[in-house]
Amino acid sequence: MSEKGLLIVVSGPSGVGKGTLCNALVKNIDNLFISISATTRPPRTGEVNGVNYIFMNQENFEEKIEEGQFLEWAKVYNNYYGTPKEFVIEKLKEGKDVILEIDIQGAAQVKKNCPNGVFVFIAPPSLEELRKRIINRGTDNEESINLRLKSAKEEMRASFDYDYVIINDDLDKAVLKLQSVILAERCKVSRNKDKILEIIGD
């Protein structure tokens, strides 16, 4: 893709605080949008369709895969998750930046199609702390907690393929780090050549 906006991919183990981080971030930075994923996972208490996720059944999801409506999709913890293509392309074309909060399989697909994206991995300070956060979230049963913790180790190894890693030991500091990454990426010469040429009138 050669769109004008910046595509930011944020991954990290379940419970690491990606959602909280990204929501705090969009309040601090303008022209930044979070893509809303589609999923076949049932809503958790308090989750709203069209806000947290676009909830759909497996048949609908598979139809959309066939129709090529996803920028990327993956099966995570036995459910489908995917990024609707239209919203992302539209925003990037307008020169707006978009965050995808997706798993490592989805991130690998995006890296193939959008190598200019910025890939950020959010890590917990320890696996023990991650366990505590998932339990405190109170949204997962024991089977789901164990599945998420088992995957966390493998996901952490995948961080080596990302551009940046942020250890989320303190929310405010982690927000500041993610904010710094995005602002620095926006200032890269390779993303600003047109602006320079415009200033000098070439």
Closest to 14 in 3D by CA, of 81, 90, 72, 64: 81
From the CB of 10, what's the least distance to ligand 5GP, in Å?
Answer: 8
Nearer to ligand 5GP, 43 or 198 (CB): 43
Residue 168 interacts with ligand 5GP (CB under 6 A)? no
Nearer to ligand 5GP, 3 or 101 (CB): 101
Residue 76 interacts with ligand 5GP (CB under 6 A)? yes
14 labeled part of a ligand binding site: yes
Residue 8 interacts with ligand 5GP (CB under 6 A)? no
Site pattern 77..116 for ligand 5GP (x: CB under 6 A): ----xxx-----------------xxx-xx----------
- Binding residue for ligand 5GP (CB under 6 A) from 8, 14, 61, 114? 14
Distance CA 37, CA 54 (A): 6
Residue 159 interacts with ligand 5GP (CB under 6 A)? no
Distance CA 130, CA 13 (A): 8
13 labeled part of a ligand binding site: yes
Token pair recorded at residue 138: 């109170």
Say how many CA atoms lie within 13 Å of 148 toward its Cβ. 22
What is the residue-wise DSSP string for 104-139? Answer: HHHHHHHHHH-TTSEEEEEE-S-HHHHHHHHHHHT-
Distance CA 133, CA 62 (A): 32
Residue 60 interacts with ligand 5GP (CB under 6 A)? no
Angle at 173 between CA 178 and CA 105, to 5 degrees: 40
Nearer to ligand 5GP, 41 or 96 (CB): 41
Distance CA 70, CA 57 (A): 15
From the CB of 138, what's the least distance to ligand 5GP, in Å?
Answer: 13
Residue 37 interacts with ligand 5GP (CB under 6 A)? yes
Residue 175 interacts with ligand 5GP (CB under 6 A)? no
Radius of gyration of the chain (CA): 17
Q: Is 190 exposed, middle or buried (0-12, 13-18, 19+ CB in 10 A)?
A: exposed
List residues forming the annotated binding site. 12-19
Q: List residues binding ligand 5GP (CB under 6 A).
A: 14, 37, 41, 72, 74, 76, 81-83, 101-103, 105-106
Binding residue positions for ATP: 12-19
